[in-house]
Structures are given as C-alpha cells and as structure tokens.
Structure 1
Amino acid sequence: MDFKIMQGARCAVIGYGSWATALVKVLTERACEVGWYVRNPEVLESLLAEGRNPRYLQDVEFDRARIRPSDDLNRVVDEADVILLAAPSAFLKSFLEPLTVSLKEKFVLSAIKGIVPDDYQTIVEYLSSRYELQPSQIGIITGPSHAEEVALERLSYLTVVCPDPENARTLGEMFSTPYIKLSYSTDLYGVEYATVLKNIYALAVGLAVGLGYGDNFLAVLISNSAMEMSRFLNESGPDSDGRNTLASAYLGDLLVTCYSVFSRNRRLGLLIGRGSSVKGALAEMTMVAEGYYAADCIRHVNRKHKVEMPIADMVYEVLYRGASARKAMKALTTKLI
C-alpha cells in the first residue's frame, strides 16, 4: 500500500549536530513549527532559553515560537507526520532506543550520509528491517551542501529521493527557500550508497594531501573515485532508470566532500596522512567522520558483490589493518588511470 504525505504535514527533526541545526533553520522558514528531539541537556536548555545551539552553528538564531525542542523522543515523534533523521549514523540506534511510539503511520526522511556500524546496513535498509517500514514510507534528502554554508544562506542544491515522485515534491516544498534549490530522484539505493562512498573517497583525498601529493594527482584520484562509485552502484544494486551518477547527488556530493575545508572526512585523512595514528586522529576530531565506519561496511558488503574497488580497499587497509598510509597510497598509484 502506498503511503501519501499530506500537504501541511507536521515535521520533526532527530539530532542536534550541525546538519540537524541547519535543516531546522531551513524548515522553520517554511513551516510554522518544527518538533526537535535534543537529548543533550546543554543544547536543549540553550535552545529553549535563547533559540541558539551552543555547540553547532552558534550564529544561527531561531525564532523560539517556531521550534519545539524536547528531550522526550516519543512526544516529538507522536506529534509529527514526517520524521527527519539527522543524527550521526554511528549513534542512530542509541538516539532511537527510547522510541516506543509506532512509526507505521509516519514518513521517515533520512538526512544521514552514513552507515549503521556493526549491522552493515544503510539507513534505509536499517529502517526497513528494524521498524518494518514500507519503501513508500522512507525517503532521503541529500546533496553537496555543508551545514556551515546552508547556515550562511549560500546557494545550495538538495535532492529529495522517494519511490513516489509526488511524495518527493511534497517534501521538497518544505525545504524550498531562496538559497535552497531542489531536484528529485527515485534512486534510493544508488543515492544512499553514493552518500556513503563519497566519505571514503574524501578520506582517501585527505590522506593524499597529508602525504604531500599535489593537485594533479588529486584530480586523478577523485575522477577514479567517481568511476569506482559508479561501478559499485551499477554492479551491486538494482538498476534505476533515473540513475545519473554525474548529477549533484552523486558526483557533486563527492566533489564537495573531497575538496571542502569543511569536510570532516577529508580532515580525518589529512591527520593520518600527516603522521597521526588512526586512534589519535579520531580522538582529535570534534565531529563524527562517517567515512571511518563506511570503509568497514563497504568492505563487508562488497564481499558478496566482488566489485573492483582499489581506492576503498586502500582506505580500509589504512584504517583497520594498520597499513602504512604512504606505502598504501604508493601502491594505489599503480592502479589509477
């Protein structure tokens, strides 16, 4: 049975990091009120008292009449029709652990660009299996858009992905602002795995920069990453008539994550390339680098598909097998074209 999102659907956001905060900012410019599950007491108190998130995007000031922050997950979910997930994938299970309200009558929209560690599942796969949601109840919102630039209202492009194009358009209306442009797709599998893979490739770019490789090599590394991504999507998953891996939800997101100074995955690779241990680099990060978990998951998933993925394999060997970043990168250079 198809699930239809009604006009004027109430929206709630789960998570309080930079991307969650930026998305709440966008939603409050379109919706009257946005429910917001915030389990951090310091952040919750500040949002209620001052309309600011003291940890992330501190310069964003919310109209307190338009946000309903709460540490009661069940109340937030119960009062909403569309649940927007924007917590780091590594903590998604713990964020949702208190949930007792059924999601059977809800639409769940994932803004998470990561994987559920240990389960080796994407967010869509996890929601389908854990909460028994139908494909028509799940969507993705993604694109080459760092939270910091969205908060500054710099022009950004987002893609809404749903099996039902009508639902995608209804969701798109919630996010349409003068600085957010929307496109639409039905390729849940391809777009979601692209958001996972691009974090691994950004880590590879960070490693290369940290090791002293120049722009010429980075261009080759990123173009090979794009080809590797396309190869994995097309060989491992279902075909999609709407899959264009040159579009912004695929290639654009890859490029911004590889090149941007805001990219936490690139930074993690940079630290390791400059000599930090993997453990030390992770400890130095102030935000979650999804590529760390993604590298392990894709390695696990690809045991079944056996797609040729030398770049993802190299990142895995450095992160999880203790391989020398310098030697691993040098070996990779012989496999690129």
Structure 2
Amino acid sequence: MVSVSVMGAGSWGTTLAKVFSDAGNAVTLWARREELASTIRDSHENRDYLPGITLPESLQVTSSATEALEGAAIVVLAIPSQALRGNLAEWKETIPQDATLVSLAKGIEKGTHLRMSEVIAEVTEADPSRIAVLSGPNLAREIAEGQPAATVIACSDENRAKLVQAAVAAPYFRPYTNTDVVGTEIGGACKNVIALACGISHGYGLGENTNASLITRGLAEIARLGATLGADAKTFSGLAGMGDLVATCSSPLSRNRSFGERLGQGESLEKAREATNGQVAEGVISSQSIFDLATKLGVEMPITQAVYGVCHRDMKVTDMIVALMGRSKKAE
C-alpha cells in the first residue's frame, strides 16, 4: 500500500482515485471547489462528473492542495493540459521531493509545443526519471463501473513504472509498463484530434468506411510525428496508440468524438461548448498546438490540419472532406 494524491476531481481523476483505492492504497482526491469536495465526502459520489458511481468510503477528499499532497509517494496530475503549468506553479513547493509524478493530461502545450511530461519537469524541476505517463483505451465511465480495461504506465525509470503499476492494479484494471514516454504522450495527445475528425464525419452522416479510414490514416500521421520526435514505433500499435485511438474515435462516451459530432451537424464551436456544460473538448485546443508542432518539424498531418481548419479557421465541414479526398494520390 502506498500514499496516493490525485490532483483533480474531474471524471478521469475521480475514476483513477477510485481505482487506486480499490487497489488497496491510501488515496486523497483534491477538488478545486470546496463545495464539490464536501459533496463527495458526504455522499461518496461525484455528482458533477460521475453521477451514479459510488466511491470508496476510504477515499479522502479535500480542497486543500497542501493537505492532499502531504506525504504522497505517488502524485497523479489529473489537470487539463493547458491548465497544468499554472497549477504546478502553485503546488511546486508542496510536492514531496521524491514522489513519482503521474501525468494524465493528453495534449501539447500551446506556444511552447512541450509535451506534458516536459511541462512537469520544467515547472517542478523534477528529474524526468520521476515522471510517468498513464495512457490507454480508458473511457472514465466504463472503468468507474468496474468494466475490465488495460492501460500503459510509461516512465524512463522502470522501477518507478513498476511502482505505479503495482499501485494501480485493481481487479478490473490491468496496467502494463514501457519506457517510451514520448510515444505514449504523442499517441494520447493526437488521438483526441483524430476523434474529433471521426465525430465530425459521423455528425455529417458518413459511415463506418469513413470512420475506419480516418482511424487508420490518423494512426499513420500520429506515428510520423512520433517517429520524428524519437518515439518507439511499436508504441503506436499498442494500448497507448491503436488501443486509445479506437476507443476515443468510436465511443459516444468520448467527449472529443461527441463534440466533433456536433460540429459535423453544423453547430458552431460556441454552441457545441454550451451543449457540453461549457467545456471544450481537449482535441479542439490540441489541434492547433499539434498542427503548429507538425508544421515546425515538417511532418505531414492532413487530418490534423483539416480539424485545425474547422476549429480555428472557420473551414466548412464540406470543404474539409473535399480537402482530404482531393489530396494527391500515393502509395500507402
């Protein structure tokens, strides 16, 4: 048993807090709003993000970051990618010096084009060997319900990866380890953009052939970017690559796919945001930073470019489809 702090009480952070608790650890969940923390403590349910899911009575909940981080051996960072830097700056002095930091955020930081593990290392000054990344076909609701799922814990220090692996291994949650942090993060960030494309396609009324084509060619462009950044090609055929991509692109539980579907039906970004409780899908923001990074590196990512066009350049969905289908012919 280890002491685990989960920083962020959204659907995925709350789910991972439940998983770590079910695996036998002492877990504290941090919620930014005291109102939410109090509700979870009293009802053992996060009604804002996981209604209907009963949380373990052993789970401690607080709105004090200092209280949450005290004595933690594992600190799980369940914060949206573009908000991670600001939160880490507030917590830097409170995070235990030898804690293993586990990133759940899937994105590329705007402006800097840094991966989330790089943001963590830069802000906290932690050695990269202390930083792990958790990624895979992990739809929060299904895992919170106890449905079987697998995930990847990527860390350059295999012993730390194994520490997290042992701590998060619940009867319904099977973690694997690898050392390819770059590939795991690139797969996790880029799949949200491809899921948006699949959602747009579905909302527009296109079928499974289109969806399968987008997933397959999406994986190809993700792998191209990963290879340029030094990732292991095998990562993209595993849970953090193809596994995560298929789940996110295919399930109505995926916020990115559902958000894209609304765009495909002709809704504006603002209207789609209103329909999702004011939240913008991660892929909307990531499409710009990933497109900018790919352009900087000279990596061709046509699906990402098309999603970027729809989300940030007022491109019509019909024009997006024409642009993708009208590309020059070449060998696969």
The bucket for the TM-score relative to the shorter chain is over 0.9
Tell me which amino acid in the other structure corresponds to 2:116.
Answer: I
**Residue in 1 aligned with 2:243?**
252
Which of the numbers 269, 286, 295 marks the counterpart of 1:278? 269
Shift of 1:213: 1.4
**Residue in 1 aligned with 2:290?**
298
Residue 89, structure 1, aligned to residue 89, structure 2: no
Separation (CA, whole Å) in 2 of partners of 1:83 and 1:288: 26
Over aligned residues, Cα RMSD in angstroms?
1.8
Which of the numbers 139, 143, 152 marks the counterpart of 2:145? 152
Structure 2 contact 158–179 (Cα < 8 Å) conserved: yes
Residue 324, structure 1, aligned to residue 316, structure 2: yes
**Residue in 2 aligned with 1:3?**
none
Which of the numbers 68, 89, 94 marks the counterpart of 1:76? 68
Shift of 1:94: 4.3
Decide which moves more: 95-104 or 31-40: 95-104
1:239–1:36 CA distance, 2 compared to 1 (3 A): closer
1:166-199 CA-partner distances (Å, limit 9, x unpaired)? 2212211111122111211110001101100000
Structure 1 contact 103–133 (Cα < 8 Å) conserved: no
Tell me which amino acid in the other structure corresponds to 1:75.
Answer: E
Tell me which amino acid in the other structure corresponds to 1:300.
Answer: D
Separation (CA, whole Å) in 2 of partners of 1:61 and 1:150: 13
Shift of 1:288: 4.3
Separation (CA, whole Å) in 2 of partners of 1:71 and 1:198: 31
Shift of 1:103: 5.0
Which of the numbers 47, 55, 60 marks the counterpart of 2:53? 60
Decide which moves more: 113-122 or 18-27: 113-122
**Residue in 1 aligned with 2:171?**
178
Residue 17, structure 1, aligned to residue 10, structure 2: yes
Shift of 1:98: 3.2
Separation (CA, whole Å) in 2 of partners of 1:205 and 1:175: 31
Q: Secondary structure at the match of 1:245?
A: helix
Separation (CA, whole Å) in 1 of partners of 2:168 and 2:304: 33
Tell me which amino acid in the other structure corresponds to 2:159.
Answer: E
Decide which moves more: 308-317 or 208-217: 208-217
Structure 1 contact 124–138 (Cα < 8 Å) conserved: yes
Structure 2 contact 291–301 (Cα < 8 Å) conserved: no
Residue 188, structure 1, aligned to residue 195, structure 2: no
1:197-219 CA-partner distances (Å, limit 9, x unpaired)? 00000001111111221111221
What percentage of residue pairs aligned between the two structures are identical? 28
**Residue in 2 aligned with 1:225?**
218
Structure 1 contact 207–272 (Cα < 8 Å) conserved: yes
Structure 1 contact 140–160 (Cα < 8 Å) conserved: yes
Structure 2 contact 18–59 (Cα < 8 Å) conserved: no
Separation (CA, whole Å) in 1 of partners of 2:107 and 2:158: 24
Decide which moves more: 67-76 or 145-154: 67-76
Separation (CA, whole Å) in 1 of partners of 2:38 and 2:177: 36
Separation (CA, whole Å) in 2 of partners of 1:206 and 1:239: 27
Shift of 1:151: 1.1
**Residue in 1 aligned with 2:306?**
314
Separation (CA, whole Å) in 2 of partners of 1:25 and 1:194: 25
Separation (CA, whole Å) in 2 of partners of 1:239 and 1:62: 37
Shift of 1:60: 2.2
1:130-185 CA-partner distances (Å, limit 9, x unpaired)? 11111111001111010110011111011111112222122111111221112111
Alignment of 1:129-144 (within 5 A): 129-144=122-137
Shift of 1:32: 4.0
Shift of 1:279: 2.2
Q: Secondary structure at the match of 1:213?
A: coil
Structure 1 gaps of 5+ residues are 1-7
Separation (CA, whole Å) in 1 of partners of 2:120 and 2:104: 13
Q: What TM-score do the two structures reach when normalised by structure 1?
A: 0.92
**Residue in 1 aligned with 2:41?**
48
Q: What TM-score do the two structures reach when normalised by structure 2?
A: 0.93
Structure 2 contact 88–124 (Cα < 8 Å) conserved: no
Separation (CA, whole Å) in 1 of partners of 2:90 and 2:124: 14
Shift of 1:16: 0.6
Which of the numbers 163, 185, 190 marks the counterpart of 1:197? 190
Separation (CA, whole Å) in 1 of partners of 2:133 and 2:261: 29
Q: Secondary structure at the match of 1:256?
A: helix
Shift of 1:77: 1.4
Shift of 1:284: 2.1
Shift of 1:239: 4.6
Tell me which amino acid in the other structure corresponds to 1:258.
Answer: C
Structure 2 gaps of 5+ residues are none
Tell me which amino acid in the other structure corresponds to 2:293.
Answer: V
